[in-house]
Homo-oligomer: A and B are copies of this chain.
Amino acid sequence: MQKKAVILFSGGLDSTTCIALAQERGFECFALSLDYGGRQQVELTKAKQLTQQLGIAHKIIPVGLNLIGGSALTDNEIAVHDFKESQAIPNTYVPARNTVFLSIALGWAEVLGAYDIFIGANILDYSGYPDCRPEYLEAFEKLADLATRAGMEGKHFKVHAPLLKLNKAEIIREGIRLGIDYSQTMTCYRPDQDGKACGNCDSCTFRKKGFEEAGIQDPTHYF
């Protein structure tokens, strides 16, 4: 029987590449998206379409992080800024986002009998988010075994972060090799109603630069 994996899936470039890599490693993929209110309704629609094209299972789980706020991605009162070269963590940081995301993935994994979770975290072209660091991911893996009945019964959960040490250009090359149509993925933090990208937020900036460096024409629809 094919092994199952839960993939944290935003519909963006990184997590779509993650699905393709998990499939290449032989996993049956179960994509998980969170609907944490705020700006990403267009992103979720795109994510749903993408999983349908890929023919994989997909769940969108509502989590009211908009009621907590504290981030430009969950609180519509906070503006997403254009990219600026800086060491500071930008206001698109969502407090405890990956911990919430991974914990719901863990719950679903346990119900499915899956012991592999894929996350598209990477430490090179990321925005300094604490919950993308390898030491964080290792700590979550330890927690997962202690947190679950499956772990008590001797199962070991593995958190895979296959993009962790790749830069955006390398991620894109991997995706192209695996046949991903990146025009269908959406990365932008502030897309328009039609899902077109702004081209200037952190996320768009890293993505654009990635296509340039990879020497691959950027198929993104910008507004």
Identify which of residues 63-112 in chain A touch chain B, using a CB-to-CB cut-off of 8 Å: 63-65, 67-70, 89, 93-100, 102-104, 106-108, 110-111
Residue of B nearest to A136 (CB): B146
Residues from chain B with Cβ under 8 Å of A63 in the complex: 61-64, 104
Tell me if A142 counts as interface (CB < 8 A to partner B): yes
Chain B's nearest CB lies how many Å from the CB of A139?
A: 4
Q: Kindly specify which of A11-19, A127-135, A188-196, A202-210 makes contact with the partner chain.
A: A127-135
Tell me if A147 counts as interface (CB < 8 A to partner B): yes
Known contacts A147-B136, A148-B130; is-contact A96 B89 (Cβ 8 Å): no
Chain A binding surface, main DSSP class: helix
Tell me if A140 counts as interface (CB < 8 A to partner B): yes
Q: List 19 A-B contacts (CB under 8 A).
A: A61-B63, A62-B62, A63-B104, A65-B104, A93-B149, A95-B107, A98-B147, A99-B103, A99-B143, A99-B144, A100-B107, A102-B103, A131-B146, A131-B147, A131-B148, A133-B146, A135-B146, A136-B146, A139-B142
List residues of A whose CB falls within 8 A of some B CB: 59, 61-65, 67-70, 89, 93-100, 102-104, 106-108, 110-111, 130-131, 133, 135-136, 139-140, 142-144, 146-149, 151-152
Instruction: Please give 4 more A-B residue pairs, beta carbons under 8 A apart, in addition to A63-B104, A100-B100, A139-B142.
Output: A61-B67, A68-B104, A68-B108, A96-B148
